[in-house]
């Protein structure tokens, strides 16, 4: 028991990582009748319902043993080492996204190089090996730089705005001690008016589907609000964002869902900020807001099944993250009040222990008018603060 | 592992029965962050993903042991004996719907008596103890009667249209051998133009929410198509159907989802045919078609949480059952063709082995125009025949 589709002739998708992204793949897998198994890091993970294995995704034998139980391997995060993924492919296992694509989401310097090669606009950047090189970049870019670790960052972690190279001395020291060596990524500080995200799904065969471009609003480096579709300031900007999404998806050969996070700069440029090759926070609205959600589409794409329609189910959908969460426990401890006050809101709890700033869930509201819907979603999410 | 919300402070709902209704409770439980456990009849059931126990629901100790692991007990079917449910309540366990309400869905003769007591219109009926009594009923009703076993029937099983009392001799013989004794239910054959269903959800506190009245189309006694909302012939008919649904929900004191199946008779009467106290085939459209699905609402109601909005997400939703299914295996064996041809259709596979006439899944399409949507849903379901 505890498995879906055991002994039956369905495709089984294996997800490495037991966070909320794996968790939110369980509903569409259940509806479609696809098998899903999760390799979680710990007991009692967010995706515990589907966690058929617990272990370290950096341990090759753990990953190989898990992969043997499924038909295709995909991910809740980008942290599985390339060596392991390449070996899985050598053994004939389907891995989506493929390691050759995933590397661009794993290493921000490789990503910048690839995006330039594709002719996609990015902030001015350099790979810097030491404080001397970083100081030169800072001096050439108005006395400031955004510095990022090439690997391992997320949700604002591994990102610092600096005006002096010594402010990231600890990172250079860590790189010097790392046998793999490496560089930090230095970028211009972009003066942007807002952030946009383009979600694209792509099958191994090359079929792609895109959702409408959305606006994302960050708080302390963490996605707080997503407006779908992005309000139209200049239609050319949204067209450019959609064009960039398509170029990147094809150019890196992603399979599964790709999120391209972009800045809309004050000078009119649309610049790529980050790539994620998995369902992404900017697409959570699609569970209720789209005919096919990003989670269902990711499963279809990695299983090499035809993709679904990505039209909106309503003119507007707004998602608001619950950050931190109720001090008393997971979101359901507040449901008596929250559900009564917000009967149209769709509540999502990740079953995670609250901690300041931690994403413990989200709320989505759909409707006719974006501002009305946004106010309703924010009010519903505020029930958990 | 294999449990959702383990070690956490969420409500855990226990579902007795491992069929597709239990299965379809898993997605909303996952989203809301409510715990869900299933007592399934067999290994590899439709709801296997959530099946934390396997055993016979007619065995008291099996049910009591399962109930000890959850906060509230509810059902995928109506077949758990009253004695067991009453004992659970005596032991202080929350059971929803409560046995005092559920008895009216378990025994069709009790149901008819209760509906008459509530002043709800029903077909002309009698409880008949033997062939002599049945013959009298047939003679008084134009030479025909619909005869039903009081207990255990579903999907057309336990229902016969007869013109001679000897046609149900086997049922009378079985009753005579049953220590509990009992009667058969004889009913007039209603000349109906169509069938309607009213879904109502009710909390223990009495809060109720209703979905729009739907039209159901049966094939060989099995629900084949559901049109939501029911096309308006005479608005008074739909108002009457809604009124009956509310009277029944309140009158029997149901908790959870109640389906009231009705005939729209050629002479204009609206007559109650059947009651089901659980999510029901006539409400599957609500997964995509309603802001709050019947499965989410059932969980909210039995957990005594505030109910959600039941508005339609689109002007029309049509659900078509997949009956029988592909001979090669469960629905996903046909997904390569079906998903490609029907990108807007939402496919639901119950992960059941195909068998002639068996409900193995369903397809829902939502949109602007009922006839267009119906054609699309039918075409998508036909991919599996």
A250 labeled binding residue: no
Residue B92: Cβ-neighbour burial (10 angstroms; 0-12, 13-18, 19+): exposed
CATH architecture of A124-187: 2-Layer Sandwich (3.30)
A208 vs B contacts (CB less than 8 Å): none
ipTM for the complex? 0.94
Judged against a pLDDT cut of 90, whether residue B247 lies above it is answered with yes
- When the pLDDT of each residue in chain B is averaged and rounded to a whole number, the result is 93
Q: How large is the average pLDDT for residues B47-61? A: 89
Which residues, numbered 233 to 292 in chain A, qualify as contacts with chain B under a Cβ-Cβ cut-off of 8 Å?
287, 291-292
A162 and A185 Cβ atoms separated by less than 8 Å: no
Q: What is the pLDDT of residue A153?
A: 65
A317: how many CB neighbours lie within 10 A of its CB? 29
Residue from the list A4, A48, A329 with its beta carbon closest to the beta carbon of B1? A48
Residue appearing with tokens 């059947």 = B274
A375 φ, ψ (degrees, to nearest 5): -65, -40
Q: What dihedral do alpha carbons A246, A295, B366, B192 form, nearest 10°?
A: 160
B344: how many CB neighbours lie within 10 A of its CB? 16
Residue from the list A7, A23, A343 with its beta carbon closest to the beta carbon of B308? A343
- Classified as helix, coil or strand, B127 is strand
A383 vs B contacts (CB less than 8 Å): none
A35 and A303 Cβ atoms separated by less than 8 Å: no
Q: How large is the average pLDDT for residues B222-230? A: 96
Q: How large is the average pLDDT for residues B339-362? A: 95
- Nearest residue to A47 via CA among B196, B61, B6: B6
Inter-chain residue contact B339 with A300, CB threshold 8 Å? yes
Q: What is the pLDDT of residue B153?
A: 65
A195 labeled binding residue: yes
B340 touches chain A (CB under 8 A): yes
pLDDT in tens, B128-173: 999 999 999 999 999 999 999 998 766 667 899 999 999 999 999 9
State the smallest CA–CA distance between residue B4 and chain A in angstroms. 5
Q: Which fold has domain B192-382?
A: D-amino Acid Aminotransferase; Chain A, domain 1 (3.30.470)
Judged against a pLDDT cut of 60, whether residue B338 lies above it is answered with yes
Inter-chain residue contact A8 with B44, CB threshold 8 Å? yes
| Pick among A10, A12, A33 to test the B interface (most B CBs inside 10 A) | A33
Which residues, numbered 179 to 238 in chain A, qualify as contacts with chain B under a Cβ-Cβ cut-off of 8 Å?
none
Residue appearing with tokens 């606009």 = A121
The two beta strands, A316-323 and A159-162, are unpaired
Inter-chain residue contact A40 with B300, CB threshold 8 Å? no
Inter-chain residue contact A329 with B9, CB threshold 8 Å? yes
B344 touches chain A (CB under 8 A): yes
Q: Helices (H) and strands (E) in chain B — how many of each?
A: 13, 18
Residue from the list A9, A31, A351 with its beta carbon closest to the beta carbon of B27? A31
Q: What is the pLDDT of residue A156?
A: 66
State the smallest CA–CA distance between residue B8 and chain A in angstroms. 8
- The encoded tokens of residue B382 equal 């036909």
A336 vs B contacts (CB less than 8 Å): 305-306
Judged against a pLDDT cut of 50, whether residue B1 lies above it is answered with no
The two beta strands, A159-162 and A35-40, are unpaired
Q: What is the pLDDT of residue B4?
A: 40
B51 touches chain A (CB under 8 A): yes
- Starting from the edge strand earliest in sequence, which strands make up the sheet with B72-75, in order? B51-54, B35-40, B12-16, B72-75, B94-95
A288 labeled binding residue: no
Domains A12-95 and A124-187 share a fold: no
Inter-chain residue contact A335 with B306, CB threshold 8 Å? yes
C-alpha separations of A176 from A130, A170, A182, A284, B215 in Å: 9, 10, 8, 39, 70
A114 labeled binding residue: no
State the smallest CA–CA distance between residue A311 and chain B in angstroms. 9
B40 and B17 Cβ atoms separated by less than 8 Å: yes
Cα Rg of chain A (Å, integer): 21
% of chain B with per-residue pLDDT over 70: 97
Q: What is the pLDDT of residue B136?
A: 97
Chain B residue whose CA is closest to A23: B30
Spans of all domains in chain B: 12-95, 124-187, 192-382
Q: What is the pLDDT of residue B152?
A: 74
Domain A12-95 has CATH 3.40.50.300: no
A39 vs B contacts (CB less than 8 Å): none
B288 labeled binding residue: no
Q: Establish, for the pair of chains A and B, how many residue pairs have beta carbons separated by less than 8 Å.
A: 189
What gap in Å lies between CA A343 and CA A322, rounded to an integer? 17
- The encoded tokens of residue B40 equal 């399934």
A366 vs B contacts (CB less than 8 Å): 313
What gap in Å lies between CA B36 and CA B57, rounded to an integer? 17
B87: how many CB neighbours lie within 10 A of its CB? 17
Cα Rg of chain B (Å, integer): 21
Q: Which long-range contacts (CB under 8 A, 24 or more apart) does A241-247 make?
A: A241/A196, A241/A198, A241/A213, A241/A270, A242/A198, A242/A210, A242/A213, A244/A120, A244/A121, A244/A198, A244/A270, A244/A272, A245/A198, A245/A199, A245/A200, A245/A210, A245/A213, A246/A200, A246/A208, A246/A210, A247/A118, A247/A119, A247/A120
A291 vs B contacts (CB less than 8 Å): 343-344, 346
Inter-chain residue contact B48 with A344, CB threshold 8 Å? no
State the smallest CA–CA distance between residue A232 and chain B in angstroms. 24
Inter-chain residue contact B344 with A291, CB threshold 8 Å? yes
The two beta strands, B184-187 and B159-162, are unpaired
C-alpha separations of B4 from A34, A142, A287, B34, B290 in Å: 19, 51, 20, 8, 25
Which residues, numbered 5 to 44 in chain B, qualify as contacts with chain A under a Cβ-Cβ cut-off of 8 Å?
5-11, 23-24, 26-28, 30-34, 40, 43-44
Judged against a pLDDT cut of 60, whether residue B7 lies above it is answered with no
pLDDT in tens, B187-209: 999 999 999 999 999 999 999 99
- The encoded tokens of residue B263 equal 């005939």
A9 versus B115: the higher-pLDDT residue is B115
What is the mean pLDDT, run by run of 10 residues, along chain A of 385 residues?
45 96 97 95 86 91 96 96 97 97 95 97 96 97 95 76 96 85 92 96 95 95 95 88 94 97 94 96 98 98 98 98 93 96 98 92 98 98 95
State the smallest CA–CA distance between residue A95 and chain B in angstroms. 19
Q: How large is the average pLDDT for residues B223-252? A: 93
Strand partners, A197: A214, A261
Residue B2: Cβ-neighbour burial (10 angstroms; 0-12, 13-18, 19+): middle
B235: how many CB neighbours lie within 10 A of its CB? 8
One-character DSSP codes across A77-115: SS-S-HHHHHHHHHTT-EESS-HHHHHHHH-HHHHHHHH
Residue from the list B291, B300, B340 with its beta carbon closest to the beta carbon of A306? B340
What gap in Å lies between CA B297 and CA B209, rounded to an integer? 9
């Amino acid at each position: 028991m505890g498995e879906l589709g055991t002994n039956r002739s369905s495709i089984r998708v294996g997800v490495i990582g037991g966070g909320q992204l794996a968790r939110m793949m369980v509903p569409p897998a259940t509806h479609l009748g696809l098998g899903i198994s999760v390799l979680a890091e710990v007991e009692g993970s967010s995706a515990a319902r589907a966690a058929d294995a617990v272990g370290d995704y950096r341990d090759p034998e753990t990953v190989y043993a898990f992969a043997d139980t499924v038909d295709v391997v995909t991910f809740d995060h980008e942290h599985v080492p390339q060596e392991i993924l390449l070996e899985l492919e050598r053994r004939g296992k389907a891995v989506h996204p493929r390691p050759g694509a995933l590397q661009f989401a794993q290493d921000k310097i490789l990503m910048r190089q690839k995006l330039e090669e594709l002719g996609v606009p990015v902030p001015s950047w350099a790979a810097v090996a030491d404080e001397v090189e970083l100081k030169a970049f800072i001096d050439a870019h108005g006395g400031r730089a955004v510095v990022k670790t090439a690997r391992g960052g997320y949700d604002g972690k591994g990102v610092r705005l600096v005006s002096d190279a010594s402010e990231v001395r600890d990172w250079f020291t860590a790189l010097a001690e790392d046998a793999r060596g490496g560089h930090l990524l230095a970028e211009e500080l972009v003066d942007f008016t807002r952030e946009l995200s383009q979600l694209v799904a792509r099958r191994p065969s090359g079929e792609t589907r895109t959702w409408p471009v959305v606006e994302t609003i960050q708080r302390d480096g963490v996605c707080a609000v997503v407006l779908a579709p992005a309000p139209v300031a200049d239609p050319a900007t949204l067209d450019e964002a959609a064009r960039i999404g398509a170029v990147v998806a094809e150019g890196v050969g992603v399979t599964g869902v790709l999120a391209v996070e972009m800045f809309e700069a004050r000078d009119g440029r649309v610049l790529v900020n980050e790539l994620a090759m998995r369902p992404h926070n900017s697409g959570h609205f699609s569970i209720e807001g789209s005919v096919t959600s990003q989670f269902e589409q990711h499963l279809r794409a990695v299983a090499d099944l035809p993709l679904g329609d990505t039209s909106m189910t309503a003119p507007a959908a707004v998602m608001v993250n619950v950050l931190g969460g109720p001090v008393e426990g997971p979101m359901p401890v507040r449901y008596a009040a929250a559900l009564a006050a917000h009967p149209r809101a769709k509540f999502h709890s990740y079953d995670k222990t609250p901690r300041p700033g931690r994403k413990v869930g989200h709320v989505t509201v759909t409707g006719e008018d974006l501002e009305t819907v946004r106010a309703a979603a924010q009010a519903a999410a505020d029930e958990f603060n």
